Structure 1
């Protein structure tokens, strides 16, 4: 059976006439499969067993008339189009048959009309079926929606007339308000508003007037139940528009929000109390700091004055040093308390500027050398031969190093060693290691070593003293600098290494003695081939010229499509792609480029946020550069990846 063919049930007692009719249909381009019958029994059997598209029938057949065939077809559930094909059907009979349900008729003397009539009948039948299916779907949808609305337990759903009176009332509305449908139908929709309740002051009529066709109004207010109790409700009123844009009425959905409102009120009260307590704590810490520092000032000044006396006996000088050292410890504890309060409340501000990390480490190390020597601890630090410039708040950077070095000396026994080293773990990053041979850290304590007030086990905390804030502050300050403070220990008795890692603006390159127009000479080997994907013509032209001046061969693609064609046509050592392109983005180009060993992809974009950088590097770009581009930065990237 051909699924594209039209299946015809033909009631005809003359084989020749049947052949002529079918031939006429096929000559018109219709593919036809037919079943020919000439009696009632075969006709009924064919209707019951065959999936036909239409019926063609003669009007006069021996023992079986066309009128009988029409009546049988009309009673059949398939409701097929029925067309009379007869040579003796008069005008009067034709009109009568059409009234009884025939679709059309064609005289055998004019069979050239048959394909036209058949096509029209099939189109009309298809339209009827589509309309019936749509009506059935609408009916099913309305039934389902009605059942769904009625089944809602937490949402009161009602419909209002354009005048604002209640027209429908679901079961949840009865549960929520206590009124049956019979009690509220035809009543005004604002019958539940409390006259003096807080909430919208506008009347229902004013609220409905604010709604455009198809728009919604969301409000919260207090409503009244039948028994007189009230509840806090969320009310959504929506204008319902019918065919032609005419307003049919409104839907009104109400939900009891009393519990949520009470919880929100409690939460708000708790928040206000916490904020008030936090402000009180800040005031207390400020007053405490002042009151504690006031007596420490003269004590420290007197100790310094005594320290300047040349005739001070040795035993007294040791006492003076003890006083000075403990005043400094007390002052540091006060600073730590204030700093941790600022960090917790996100009130700590930094002033970032170029700072010599190596110089900061050297200064702090020199301060602690005397203390290390007094405790018979070897403090080893060899400054690098050149400055290590980072973007940092100089005072806070010194505070990080101070806290780490103080911690290392605190937990290292006499005869131990503390080593400081500056190194570059990877391009663009610089790190400071502070390693000691002290008591080490148990594995279970490593994950909470940077928690405020956490000093590991109670025995260690009692023996060593302190508040447990130094490492927490150092870690938070490292984060605020865009860096990371890490820790490693092999366990108790195995020492500890803290590593502060920061961004290295120099990109691990030594500072140049003098600015140069070009970072490298033109390569003598085969020049690296670069595909530059840039949709801005002026930018592409300028970059192509600059890169060519450095000895690179550069092809330009203005969009993703051209870039893909270029990548398919030849091998490029380097892809430099803009991220925003007319027909996609740089990630589409990168996926097609799929860099292999020896190939490098560089993202070029006007977006320099941290999230943009992470997205590009995660996708597979070797570097992320922002516009306007410093060509030296790009050349340095290419040199680092061997494309010089």
Structure 2
């Protein structure tokens, strides 16, 4: 029976047949067998091409020979336009050699017209096999996509490390320039350099956090910072004819959730909007407070001026595997809906053909972020010749730290790894303070400080940490040494302040 196995649902069947009577017999045969079918019939090259341009069949049943047209021509046309759709020859003139040739040409099966009992089961089997093959190809494509993303994550991690090292001088040097010049033009230039360095670091961090994912299942997300990160990530994908508008009506607004997942939602909606505006337009991301029956909530709007969607597309928009893109998976908006609903929120969409689309996200508001305090930079006391050992395997940062601290009045010893630091200690004795990067080679920061403690060192240690990677995650916290943590990327004024506090001169 054709209905054994996975339900087929309604089938669209294309009949390539010049005889209306024979076509009617084929339709009756399949309907009587319990198949739910709709039919279209063509008998020429032009008719078939025109129909396939506007209608996709689930299977094609074709006569072998017709006046001015042949089943082989029909098979070639189908393979050109719909290569995955199954094709079955149904003919009264098919001998064994012809049947073999038909299969060799790419047909899925053949049926003799005066022996049609096998037709319904052959149709059902061919459709199921074609669907299984399409699902297999889809899964393979998803696996390949996942492998590419995994490779991208590895590349992003390596690139972000190198980029941070390259950008580090842009954060350290401006403070040195300001301290050495009263010329307002030079100070303004230093401010420009520092701002470029901060933006560069923010872009790197946004890219890396998106690839790696947030380590916190839930955290307070400040909308202003989230929009800034999304804007920086979108800039590289934004065509010149699209204007990106970001508007957070209250800079103190915050929401509770997973940062990376909410970032993914906004990026997905924004990238869809960009693709929906081939002729350009305005892409707006707006966050504001709105009053609802459940009280005040956060509303995020992602609005475009693109081609819009019809009612049929809107009805199926959040259905799994539904997509209007040739290379889409149909899972992006499903993921967005899941993420928003996991935050106790809702997502809705309005759209009109030719006028654009607007997605609305309603989310619970978190407590407002406190207003930042504004004031002059505190004056950090200069050093008085204290000896500082700096251990860092990144040559540029090591040199910059050495020059900056020396200009502040400290005496410096520089080491590129733990072994070099130990040689310095054996040759020149103990320093007054040690500044060590958490990722130094040969000896870890914890091992180095433990060795120094065993040699009699009792001064402070300033440890550079990156992205919440704890320097002593292995539990090796040296006893008797006061440890001060300095997060990267470094800002020179913060370095001076932490060093002064560690030495007790701050």
Bucket of the pairwise TM-score, normalised by the shorter protein? 0.3 to 0.5
> Rg larger in 1 or in 2?
1
Compute the TM-score of the two structures, normalised by the length of structure 2.
0.34
Q: TM-score when scaled to structure 1?
A: 0.27
Q: Larger relative CO (CA 8 A, sep 6+): 1 or 2?
A: 2
